[in-house]
Amino acid sequence: MALNATIFKADLTVTDTDRGYYATHALVLARHPSETDERMMVRLLAFALNAGEALAFGKGLSDEEEPALWEKDLTGAIRLWIEVGLPDEKSVRRACGRAAQVRIYAYGRNAERWWQDAQSALARPDNLTVIALPPVATQSLAELAQRTMHIQCTVQDGTAWVTDGARTVEIAPGLLSAARRP
């Protein structure tokens, strides 16, 4: 018998002074049985850092043809493909061919090693941005996971502060590779 996804609900308030974006989103996150709280919360963080009206969660772990998050235009063309974790090079190249922009939020204790191994193979796509998230911060972010969450994310000068009202996690993403094509 297959295990079902666990449903989490998040009221996410985004105050992004870097982009001039201020909104509240009522989100439903389906956590795949093999997904950790850390990965789910990194998906929520990635949503906050890229929030917009058209940004949506993909099927992620349950369908390798869809990203963790994506934004499509009215024609169905993929404007932004967001992956979290340490995807394989083939998946990243496929995403770069399908989307105008691709962002990877690499996290975990093996993220630095993954980037060292993948860097030369992923140097070609000019629409790829790779961002590293500090392991201590993403582990602290996982501690905020609850079935019903009220989360506020403030972004200023490239740093994000995520709070549930009782605890705050500071996250300073590191840019490993920037897209050469806007």
The model's pLDDT over 37-83, given as tens digits with 9 standing for 90+, comes to: 999 999 999 999 999 999 999 976 556 778 999 999 999 999 999 99
- For residue 1, the model assigns a pLDDT of 47
Q: Which pLDDT score is estimated for 3?
A: 72
User: CB neighbours (10 Å) of residue 65?
Assistant: 10
* Cβ partners under 8 Å of residue 139, min gap 6: 38
Q: CB–CB of 43/167 below 8 Å?
A: no
Q: Can you say whether residue 140 is alpha, beta or left, with left for phi > 0 and alpha for psi between -120 and 50 degrees?
A: alpha
pLDDT mean for each 10 residues of the chain (182 residues): 82 98 96 93 98 90 80 96 96 96 96 94 94 97 97 98 97 95 71
At 94 the three-state DSSP class reads helix
pLDDT at 2: 55
d(CA 134, CA 172): 7
Phi, psi of 117 (to 5 degrees): -75, -35
Domain residues of the chain, as ranges?
Answer: 7-177
Q: Is the pTM of this model over 0.85?
A: yes
3-state secondary structure of 85: coil
Show the 3-state SS of 16-57.
Answer: ECCCCEEEEEEEEEEECCCCCHHHHHHHHHHHHHHCCCCEEE
Q: DSSP of 96-138, one letter per residue?
A: HHHEEEEEEEE-STTHHHHHHHHTTTTSS-TTEEEEE--HHHH
Select 7-177's CATH number: 3.40.50.1370, 3.40.640.10, 3.30.450.70, 3.10.640.10: 3.10.640.10
